[in-house]
Amino acid sequence: MRLHPLDPILATIMRRRAAAGKRPSPVHAFAPDRVARILIVSTTGLGDTLFATPAWRALRQRYPAARIVGHVREKFVPLFDDNPHLDAIIPYAGGYRCFFGTVKAFRRERFDLVLIFHGMGPQAIPMAVLSDAPFVIRIPNSGEYGYLLSNAEPSLENLPYPGEHAIRCRLRIAGMVDAKSDDVRMILPVTPEDREAAHALLVQAGVDAHTPTAGLVPGAATVFKQWPAERFVAAARGLLDGRSGWRLVVLGSMEERGLAAEVARALGPVAVTLAGRADLRALRGLIAGLRLLVTNDTGPLHIAVAVETPTVSLFGATDSRGTGPLQDLERHVVLQRPAPVWDTRNIQRRNNLPMYRIEVDDVVAAGRELLARVGS
């Protein structure tokens, strides 16, 4: 991680505050009956934020009268501002941008508790502590500012378990404040307006509303998560073989428009690309209407799982035990092909060689089996 000029200044401020006794209370002093206002921090990726929604539900069930405020990445707010378990959202602008303004917003709320489910560093813990909330909890409790946490003491329960899914880790955080739950289902409402916006985009692209559609997501946040584009094309052709009238919708972000267009062109008239054309509300409407989504380990995969769209997901370097589908497992097929030897140096080199171990025939067979299983 590149050092920002403000990082050492922030570190000095936090050390001095801690030395002066201005730090959260230890978790063993936590009293549920004193909780009226909760801040939940999920400021990283789209999937990471979706993984927190089961814990949001657990908190709402345990603290039905509390004011629960989410701190969510600014660009993802439209996807979560109608979550039934949040009362409000304070957007995360990124880095030090709006740092002090966000801390002021935190202080105005007078939170009794801050839970960091997944926060951008190194600002996440300092911002939570500067809110003056009596309790700040995060798993893992390691890192530069781990000493400031209410659960700072070293123990296995303050670290992710080997092979633990991110959803279960977040539920453990909620359980530390008496909001225990085993319900791993993610929450992502799809409104009639979402479906109408999706329908409008499809019509503009020349796809009839009643046409069965499958989706492809050839991009990902990092290159090492991407299955080769030519294999997406070959797998899509195999999936549609014998399925008359089906269309393919290629999805992706603004940055992935070129890759999506390349895949759509190679597939010909059967495919359209909507990469970069759908806002987040329309995107969830689009994904909810698909018969199947073939995707890398990226945000649309987790949207599809949340809205119950069947998926074939492709994992190489990343571990599907930690971020793959965890609900409705009969609707999802995971193809995990790890490299024989894997370490972080491959990630730093952005090496997607493990993805080449996923064969086209494997994806076609998985998709056909899944479509037969769910009746499409």
- Of 1-5, 8-12, 59-63, 117-121, give the lowest mean pLDDT range: 1-5
User: Residue 160: is it exposed, middle or buried by C-beta count within 10 angstroms (0-12/13-18/19+)?
Assistant: middle
d(CA 129, CA 146): 11
Q: What residue type is 4 in one-letter code? A: H
Q: Domains of the chain: which residue ranges?
A: 7-175, 192-374
Q: Does domain 7-175 have CATH number 3.30.379.10?
A: no
At 354, the pLDDT band (50, 70, 90 cuts) reads confident
Superfamily of structural domain 192-374: Glycogen Phosphorylase B; (3.40.50.2000)
Tell me what the mean pLDDT of segment 28-51 comes to: 97
Q: Residue 209 has what pLDDT?
A: 79
Percent of the chain with pLDDT over 90: 86
Tell me what the mean pLDDT of segment 182-210 comes to: 96
Laid out side by side, the sheet with 88-92 consists of 88-92, 67-73, 37-42, 113-118, 135-138
Tell me what the mean pLDDT of segment 198-205 comes to: 96
> Is the Cβ–Cβ distance between 263 and 218 less than 8 Å?
yes
For 60, the token pair is: 């709402």
Average predicted confidence (pLDDT) for the chain: 94
For residue 80, pLDDT over 90 is answered with yes
At 3, the pLDDT band (50, 70, 90 cuts) reads confident
Q: Residue 164 has what pLDDT?
A: 94
Nearest to 332, CA basis, from 361, 294, 289: 294
For residue 307, pLDDT over 60 is answered with yes
Q: Residue 340 has what pLDDT?
A: 54
d(CA 140, CA 103): 22
For residue 350, pLDDT over 70 is answered with no
Domains 7-175 and 192-374 share a fold: yes
Q: Residue 347 has what pLDDT?
A: 53
Torsion of the alpha carbons at 149, 154, 155 and 156, rounded to the nearest 10 = 90
d(CA 147, CA 152): 5
For 100-138, how does the pLDDT look when each residue is reduced to its tens digit (9 = 90+)?
999 999 999 999 999 999 998 779 999 999 999 999 999
Percent of the chain with pLDDT over 70: 96
For residue 343, pLDDT over 70 is answered with no
